[in-house]
Structure 1
Amino acid sequence: MEGVPFSFFCSLVQEISLNNARRTTSSTPVDIFQRWTQEAIRLYPSSCAHATSIIFDLLFPSDDVNRTYGIQETKLARYISRALGVDAASLLNWDSEGSSGVLGVETKKIMQQHHTLESSQSSLTVTEINEALDELASHCDFSHISIRRRFPSTTRRSRLVILQSLYRELHHNDGAILTQIILKDLRPILYPVVADHFTVALRCYNTSSVKILARGSALSLWNRLIYVPTTAPGHSVRDFSDVSLGKPIEIPKSQKARNCKHALGFFVGSRELWAETKYDGERAQIHVEMLPDHPPKITIFSKSKRDSTFDRWGIHPLIHDALCLSSPASRKIKTNAILDAEMVAMHDDEIDEFWRLRSLIEQSARGPRARPMNPPRSPNKTQNHQSQGSIVTDTSEARYLGLVFFDILLLDSRVLLGEAYSSRRALLESLIRRVPGKVMIASRFLINLEDQDVALSSLHEIFADHIANHQEGLVIKAAESRYNDRRWPWVKLKKDYIPGYGDTLDLLIVGAGWDKDRARELLVGPSVFTTFYVGSFETLNQPEGEDRRPARLHLHVYFTVSYGLDRNQLEEVNFLIKNSDHRPFGVVSKFLDSTLPYTLSTYQGIKPPAILLSQPLLVELFGAGFTKSPGSGHYELRFPRITKVYRAIERSWLEAVNLHDLHRIALECIGRDRSVKEVDDWCNSLWGKPTSPSAKSVLKRKRTAERWQLKLARLDGTLRQCRTCPK
């Protein structure tokens, strides 16, 4: 047999799975991977090296950025049932309570019942599986163009025929693994759930008993044993030092600082720091190649390493302007360059809210991600009437894309990763031509570490000023540090990283459900509520009379929260909900049930909850500022986390912040004035009343900065040394 059999690859996955299911610590996934690799070399010595990239793409499918299948569980379940000639009902219920919550596992059950091979080992090799997956991915416009060109629509097989050729040749164990590879998530097979009951799954869990196989560790071990680098095009497995044009460079891992003192603690031995402004945008790693007798070639990679050249078409003119690519006399790039930048939304020459960025990208994109500009929608009853001019209309002529450069990684084939940050920054500043309101270089502020007390006071002042100016935060870098430096890493400092210092609101949990991604992290099945549905009501108009509580309220549920609670707290909330009055989420008519104390509307962009609570729970949510989902009429907390769940005897759910007040709080947080502020100020001045200060008022921001400087000094225990803070 030529090539590494797919069933042999699957034996590695099964062994790691069995080891984790036993919850033993005698053997780690790295140990298993080493034994398997040694056996692969012995059995298939001429095939292993050539299969390197294929094996790693199969073992870590979520890192395979070139292939996108456009198939999720529901669609894949139907394809599998047709490929095997079985009823789709059981597969379609893969995530219902009582099932495994894993389509691969449910596929295995079906294949055991209806499809058996004489041998547990099929004839398919990993190379043949890889080729079939490439052909399957060619059906999706979001796959890399090299894959789509290899399988043009005129000659490629249909999805069903491809899947039939695979599943009918596989053992049921291998079929389960292939299913999860297509879904780009092998976690539920490698790290299986071993408990069904929510209490056992959450409380009786030993975090040290489940060992994760990290890609870096596996790749390092593989290369030591094989001694041959990756050669296969299109699915490369790269070492960090292998830097070349057209291949995305690994983004440095940043540390999160809990406070300013903690941030400085990462830089022992450094003499000078720079605190860079953290911009609220999307990462763009820009590769530029100068071609003779042709326009420069631009390739853009996203944070996930996906080729986003056509998605980010709107910033190509900005790149040309920044690097003077259209002016040979002015440009300083001779052959090539790789730069790091942040793509941001702009409005009247100022950086706009992050949520505006999505529509700007879609309108300027080329290819499958391009979206036409949608006309403004009419407001509905769940949208705050004060916000229609600003929050519903996502785009206008005054909004456009901007680019903020902050690093350079390669210039004229000279790799710069090993050079000091101060040198790279100086080179970047000499290379980039700033264009007001469109092309910028990240702002930064010097912190001298000769005197630690002075350094800490300086950081307090810089950070407080950023908070007052509604910036996302800081990224602190040592002047001497190299790119992805382990000794002096990049350190992010944001107010929501500081316990108790983020944006906090009291809102309502109205429903609950099971989310597969959060469940994979927690290693729990569909019996556990992992995700909670959050909303609130419009302004309460209390009726007259003794009973001032309205008979029925209208609630609007429009975002979810899955984080903030530890396993014990999550079990308590699950117990509380499962033992309270709740009902399955059904058709809209059920919301009109007179036994419910509310009517309900939901944002269509979220998956419906599994159940609705008859009596909503009041919760305290903590977040990193505010954002808005596409098409939603309300602000929501960004990266929300639950910090407290109130029982009915503690606080009534009617004490939640209503949507009108939430909108006002959000605008104040992000530094925007209400759309009716000018009218209110005119009315106040007409009657001799004081007008409210603008969100952009210099005096207001100065006072906010002073308050935050005081808070930060108190937090770090240096209040006496903070001379500039108000008494």
Structure 2
Amino acid sequence: MPFLFSYVCNLLQALDDNQRTKTGLKPTANIIQQWFTKHRSLLNRGDHNDAALLSALFPEKRTDRVFRYGLKRLERTIGRGLGLGMTRKEELGRHEDAQWGMDLAECVERILRDTPNADPISPVTVEEIDDLLHDIASHCHFSSPAVRSFPPSSTPKNREEVLGNIYTRFSPRDAKWFTRLFLKNYQPVILDQQLVYRHYHPRLPLILKVRDDFVDAGRILASHKRERTVTERDEFAKHLQPKLGVKVGRQHWIKGRSLKQCLQIGYGRMSCEEKYDGEYCQIHIDLTKGYDCIQIFSKSGKDSTKDRKALHERNPWEHLMIVYYDILMVDDESLLAVKHSERHQRLREIATEVKGRSMLVQRQTIDCSRPSAETDLRRAFAKCITNRGEGLVLKPDTTYFNFGPSWGNSGSIAIKLKKEYIREFGDVGDFAVVGARYDPTKAKSYGFPNIKWTHFYIACLGNKEEVLRFGEQPEFVVTNVVELNETQMRAFMTTIQPVAVNPNDNKAFSSRVEEGVDSRKTPTTIFSEPPTRQCRVLDSEIPDGKQDTL
């Protein structure tokens, strides 16, 4: 039986309203539990589409689907679908102006409140939305191969029309949440994944650990509900096996804030491994597929095999290198229930190291039960810093996953220890805040109105000597973009009132944004008298041209 999208909106709106209320705040868990209790009969039906509902609850998890719709394109599509005139289209574009304090979703909601859709509204189901989004994503070459293999059911023009026309069937509230679903960001509402999974079905958290894919997990869950051959949790966990082509979920990670804390969390023999500055990936190899036997999943879960084919060395003397950390399955044998030390031994037997091309992770074993454990960890961390390493990772000698009923047991928790996680590390320097830009979606994450900027461009002075000696115009180099938490944002708005000008009107200084900073976005506002702020510099070596600060 179809599941109405308005039911999902009921949950999202209840959580949103609860966050905004000043009295009578309810625990989020209670709201979620009540919602699932109300809809339990629908969820338990044999014909219920689990993947469609989970995709609607967590659209950001569907990294396999790429729509390639920016805000402006979506805005135009909505305007055409609703048949808006020029004045209404201008109202729809207010999300770009910080003075209105609205994102695109709220602009749509406001327009439909003023001019509601005609009654009766044909209800939209999550299954219908799932089909539409899958069809749109199947035509984008950035989507995963599995999505792109979906048989085309429409032309580009028809897809635009269907996406725009679906807005004519929404209430103002539902149109708001669908817009955020399409943009894969429900902020200011953030659903706790593990909490929702547990309420959805007791076995779903286990399934998604091993098969981190809503479509595949939905199939397993449907089969389990239908057959009920295995009911006990431990027995069910034993039946779960990794599957080639479906990403295995990542272990639970926490940040180590001190050496002492790491040893308090850890226990027994811990693998102390170097953390390398690189890109995490999970590689599946199916030798039955011949040349196309390799499949690469990125940290987000997306099948990035095609993306990675374009990787190459810039110079003949440079080599891409792979570092092997773990092994989770060999042939049809799952190693998820095997201890870390045994998995590493299997990895040593299988992997071939080629100098400059591939290697096993550098590691040592630290026994947390020994009196020398803190000294051993301190020496390992000191060596890492001296060698300009990124940090350490501590892994217990236990199974890859803790299949217990909660995360509370530290059995399979990996600990990341980096310089920036420890407050005492790093040098403090003064940097200039040369400009900012406004992101309406990010602005909704703050619990107060009148946000003017959300992303701040941090720069160092590239010609300090010339400025001080000869009075030349400052030349700033933007090295980073920062987002403030709620406390920092309140302090910035209260104590700092920078002179903001349009970038085209800025005559006070010149600036350039380093390549790779903020995904090629640029400031929409320049602070002609840049405020300075102290930042902790954690890099042990600053590249040429970036060493000067104000």
Sort the TM-score into its range (normalised by shorter chain): 0.7 to 0.9
- Residue of structure 2 equivalent to 1:575: 494
Q: 1:523 to 1:59 in 2, by over 3 A?
A: farther
SS in 2 for 1:433: coil
Matches of 2:162 and 2:98, distance apart in 1: 31
Q: Deviation at 1:76?
A: 0.9
Counterpart for residue 101 of structure 1: 102
What does residue 535 of structure 2 align with? 621
Match of 2:501 in 1: 584
Residues 385 and 391 in structure 2, CA contact (< 8 A), matched pair in contact too: yes
Taking a change above 3 Å as real, the CA distance of residues 419 and 24 of structure 1, as seen in their structure-2 partners, is: farther
Structure 2 letter corresponding to 1:169: R
Residues 149 and 463 (structure 1 numbering): CA distance in 2 closer, same or farther, change over 3 Å? same
Tell me the distance in 2 between the aligned counterparts of 1:73 and 1:217.
31
The alpha carbon displacement at 1:435 in A equals 1.1
**Equivalence for 2:114:** 113
In 2, distance between residues paired with 1:536 and 1:225? 52
| Aligned equivalent of 2:410, options 480, 487, 498 | 487
Matching residue's letter, 1:468: T
Aligned to 1:302: 298
Asked if the contact 2:274/2:362 (under 8 Å) is kept, the reply is: yes
CA gap 1:75/1:549 in 2 versus in 1, 3 angstroms = same
Measured in 1, the distance between the counterparts of 2:422 and 2:378 equals 13
Paired with 1:526 and 1:456, the residues of 2 have a C-alpha distance of 48
What residue in structure 2 maps to residue 561 of structure 1?
A: 482
Q: Which amino acid aligns with 1:311?
A: D
Q: Which position in structure 2 is the counterpart of 1:64?
A: 62
Compute the displacement of 1:30 (Å): 3.3
Q: Which amino acid aligns with 1:661?
A: Q
Post-superposition CA distance 1:7-55 (Å, at most 9, x none): 23322322222233325555434333333333334468647x5221111
Does the 8 A contact of 2:253 with 2:416 survive in 1?
yes
Contact 2:438 / 2:454 at 8 angstroms: preserved in 1?
yes
Which aligned pairs between 1:216-227 and structure 2 lie closer than 5 A? 216-224=194-202
Q: Which amino acid aligns with 1:451?
A: R
Question: Where does residue 14 of structure 1 map in the other structure?
Answer: 13
Do the aligned partners of 2:117 and 2:169 also contact (CA within 8 Å) in 1? no
CA distance change for structure 1 residues 410 and 12 in 2, over 3 Å: closer, same or farther? same
Asked whether the equivalents of residues 266 and 368 of structure 2 are also in contact (C-alpha less than 8 Å), the reply is no
Question: Following superposition of structure 1 onto structure 2, how do residues 257-272 of structure 1 map, counting pairs within 5 Å?
Answer: 257-268=256-267, 270=268, 272=269
* Cross-structure match for 2:227: none
For residues 520 and 307 of structure 1, the distance between their equivalents in structure 2, rounded to whole angstroms, comes to: 31
Query: Per-residue CA shift, 1:294-347, capped at 9, x if unaligned?
Result: 45722211111111122223xxxxxxxxxxxxxxxxxxxxxxxxxxxxxxxxxx
* Normalised TM-score (structure 1): 0.65
Q: Distance in 2 between matches of 1:420 and 1:170?
A: 52
The alignment partner of 2:341 has SS state of helix
5+ long unaligned stretches in structure 2:
222-236, 403-408
Aligned residues of 2:247 and 2:297 also touching (Cα < 8 A): yes
Matches within 5 A, 1:99-178: 99-119=100-120, 122-152=122-152, 155=155, 158-178=158-178
CA distance 1:107–1:461, change in 2 (3 Å): same
Residues 180-329 of structure 1 correspond to what in structure 2 (within 5 A)? 180-188=180-188, 191=189, 213-224=191-202, 235-237=215-217, 243-268=242-267, 270=268, 272-291=269-288, 294=290, 297-313=293-309
C-alpha distance in structure 2 between counterparts of 1:126 and 1:134, whole Å: 12
Q: Whole-Å Cα distance in 2 between the matches of residues 539 and 145 of structure 1?
A: 49
Determine helix, strand or coil for the equivalent of 1:417.
coil
Determine if the alignment matches structure 1 residue 465 to structure 2 residue 383: yes
For the residues of structure 2 that align with 1:300 and 1:249, how far apart are their CA atoms?
A: 12
DSSP 3-state at the match of 1:440: strand
Call closer, same or farther: CA 1:406–1:85 in 2, change over 3 Å: same
Give the drift of 1:514: 3.2
Is the CA contact (8 Å cut-off) linking 1:585 and 1:609 kept in structure 2?
A: no
| Contact 1:7–1:122 (8 Å) recurs in 2 | no
Q: What SS is found at the alignment partner of 2:494?
A: helix
* Identity of matched residues, %: 25
Instruction: Give the match for residue 224 of structure 2.
Output: none
Which of 526, 547, 550 pairs up with 1:661? 547
In 1, Cα distance between equivalents of 2:204 and 2:423 = 47
1:455 and 2:364 matched: no
| Distance in structure 2 (CA, Å) of the matches to 1:225 and 1:426 | 31
Distance in 2 of aligned mates of 1:536 and 1:434: 41
| Closer, same or farther: CA 31–51 of 1 in aligned 2, 3 Å | farther
CA distance in 2, matches of 1:475, 1:427: 20
Deviation at 1:145, TM superposition (A): 2.4
C-alpha separation in 2, matches of 1:600 and 1:471: 31
For 2:203 and 2:330, the matched residues in 1 are separated by 34
- Superposed CA deviations along residues 208-234 of structure 1, whole A, max 9, x for unmatched, are xxxx53122212211149999899997
Q: Structure 2 length normalisation: TM-score? A: 0.84
| 2:316 alignment partner, one of 397, 400, 405 | 397
Which residue number in structure 2 is paired with residue 198 of structure 1? Answer: none
Alpha-carbon distance between aligned partners in 1 of 2:207 and 2:280, rounded to the nearest angstrom = 29
Once residues 310 and 560 of structure 1 are traced to their aligned partners in structure 2, the CA distance between those partners, rounded to angstroms, is: 29
Equivalent AA in structure 2 for residue 583 of structure 1: A
SS of alignment partner, residue 324 of structure 2: strand
Amino acid in the other structure paired with 1:123: P
Amino acid in structure 2 at the alignment position of 1:426: Q
CA contact (8 A) 1:136 1:162 kept: no
The Cα offsets for residues 405-450 of structure 1, whole Å up to 9 and x where unpaired, read as 0111112222212221111111111111111111110010222345
- Secondary structure of the 1:429 match is helix
More moved, 9-18 vs 600-609: 600-609
**Which piece of structure 1 moves more, 416-425 or 567-576?**
567-576
How far the C-alpha of 1:577 sits from its partner, in A, is 3.0
* Number of residues of Structure 1 aligned to a counterpart in Structure 2: 515
Give, in angstroms, the shift of residue 162 of structure 1: 1.9
Task: State the shift of 1:179 in Å.
Answer: 0.7
Which amino acid counterpart does residue 351 of structure 2 have in structure 1?
A: I
Structure 1 unmatched runs, 5+: 192-211, 314-361, 365-393, 628-633, 636-657, 664-727
Over residues 357-382 of structure 1, what are the superposed CA-to-partner deviations in whole Å (9 max), with x where a residue is unaligned?
A: xxxxx445xxxxxxxxxxxxxxxxxx
One-letter amino acid of the counterpart of residue 100, structure 1: G
Q: 1:524 to 1:440 in 2, by over 3 A?
A: farther
Alpha-carbon separation, structure 1, partners of 2:317 and 2:278: 18
For 2:38 and 2:196, the matched residues in 1 are separated by 15
Further displaced range: 431-440 or 134-143: 134-143
Cα deviation for residue 260 of structure 1 reads 1.9
Alignment of 1:612 with 2:531, yes or no, is no
Q: Distance in 2 between matches of 1:162 and 1:93?
A: 24
Quick check: which one's helix share is greater?
Answer: 2
Residue 525 of structure 2 aligns with an amino acid whose one-letter code is: I
Is contact 2:276-2:389 (8 Å) kept? yes
